[in-house]
């Protein structure tokens, strides 16, 4: 029997994943706005989030959460991290028993510091949870460029089933049992992308960008391992792979936020112009709370926090980073 898949959230990445999955299984995309569902069904387009992209005519869309969740054999959550819990509480009213739930969000829950699979298990304790993560820029995937991703699930049999659903043509999907490492890497790399973008906005040059990315990888690896992740994960697709893509691509929302900060704009001005969430803004605050919890120094994340929440400028941040006395490369900063 063919599995039926529902994707909740019709942003750029949720729509992209629904477009891919429909090549392997009947797929339904839930849209918050009825007019967007109608556009996808009638015109096979999502001009708000994927302008110019042609969506598979096999993909169905609905604005009814009950319809979307009630028929799902696999539920994919394309909801930003700050809205995940509230969305899952609504999902709980309609989801059938034992349906696995996969998160696409790359963030940590403010306040609780929970990863998205932990939030899923809290709200839906009888449902297995996983995460899809990696260097996946939605517009490039829709354009047919090759990409690789990771499905992070502890159960190896479920991992294989989900791998078969997501793997499509030149979109290659690998499995990884280290759910903690994959989720932490996916969340924290957004903070480093904001830092990298600030440097680009300031015009600091390629050498500096490379240094920030590399030292940023060291930061997120230290914190990720302290939280229970495996070191090897941070050297893979979910770690350095996603970090490089997010820090260097003009399509990266988090890098864009940093670049505009580097040009002297405020986070409120930048956020008001964006129609999608830059997860790194909220994750930066969570990262600082985790650094205190684990008694760990995260100098790059701390400088980003200073710009986002303490009124400092990007120039201040980069001056703070360059004034730090370097020690041994493998020692904590």
Q: So which residues are the catalytic ones?
A: 189
CA atoms within a 13 Å half-sphere pointing along the CA-CB vector of 173: 21
- Reading the block at residue 91, the tokens are 């999902």
Distance, CA of 95 to CA of 275 (rounded, Å): 29
Q: Confirm if 187 and 107 have CB atoms less than 8 A apart.
A: yes
Q: Confirm if 133 and 242 have CB atoms less than 8 A apart.
A: yes
Q: Confirm if 266 and 206 have CB atoms less than 8 A apart.
A: no
Q: How crowded is residue 329: how many other Cβ atoms within 10 Å of its Cβ? A: 8
Is the Cα torsion angle 288, 128, 64, 56 positive or negative in sign? positive
Residues in the chain: 333
Sheet holding 147-152, edge to edge: 60-62, 27-30, 5-8, 74-77, 101-103, 129-133, 147-152, 171-176
């Amino acid at each position: 029997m063919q599995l039926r898949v529902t994707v909740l959230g019709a942003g750029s990445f949720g729509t992209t994943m629904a477009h891919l999955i429909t090549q392997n299984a009947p797929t339904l995309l839930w849209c918050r706005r009825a007019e967007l569902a109608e556009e996808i069904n009638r015109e096979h387009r999502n001009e708000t989030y994927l302008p110019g992209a042609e969506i598979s005519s096999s993909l169905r869309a609905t604005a009814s959460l009950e319809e979307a969740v009630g028929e799902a054999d696999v539920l994919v959550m394309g909801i930003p991290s700050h809205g995940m819990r509230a969305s899952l509480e609504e999902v709980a009213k309609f989801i059938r028993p034992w349906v696995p739930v996969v998160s696409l969000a790359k963030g940590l829950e403010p306040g609780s510091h929970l990863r998205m699979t932990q939030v899923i298990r809290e709200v839906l304790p009888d449902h297995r949870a996983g995460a899809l993560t990696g260097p996946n820029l939605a517009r490039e995937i829709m354009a047919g460029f090759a990409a690789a991703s990771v499905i992070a699930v502890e159960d190896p049999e479920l991992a294989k089933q989900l791998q078969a659903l997501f793997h499509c043509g030149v979109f290659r999907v690998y499995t990884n049992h280290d759910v903690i490492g994959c989720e932490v890497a996916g969340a924290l790399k957004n903070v480093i992308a904001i830092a990298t973008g600030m440097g680009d906005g300031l015009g600091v040059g390629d050498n500096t960008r490379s240094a920030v990315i590399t030292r940023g990888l060291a930061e997120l690896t230290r914190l990720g391992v302290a939280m229970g992740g495996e070191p090897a994960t941070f050297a893979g697709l979910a770690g350095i792979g996603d970090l490089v893509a997010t820090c260097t691509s003009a399509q990266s929302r988090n890098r864009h936020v940093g670049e505009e900060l580097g040009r002297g704009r405020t986070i409120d001005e930048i956020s008001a112009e964006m129609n999608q969430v830059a997860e790194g803004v909220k994750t930066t605050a969570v990262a600082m709370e985790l650094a205190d919890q684990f008694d760990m120094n995260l100098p790059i994340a701390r400088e980003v926090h200073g710009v986002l929440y303490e009124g400092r400028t990007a120039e201040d941040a980069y001056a703070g980073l360059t004034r730090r006395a370097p020690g041994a490369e493998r020692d904590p900063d």
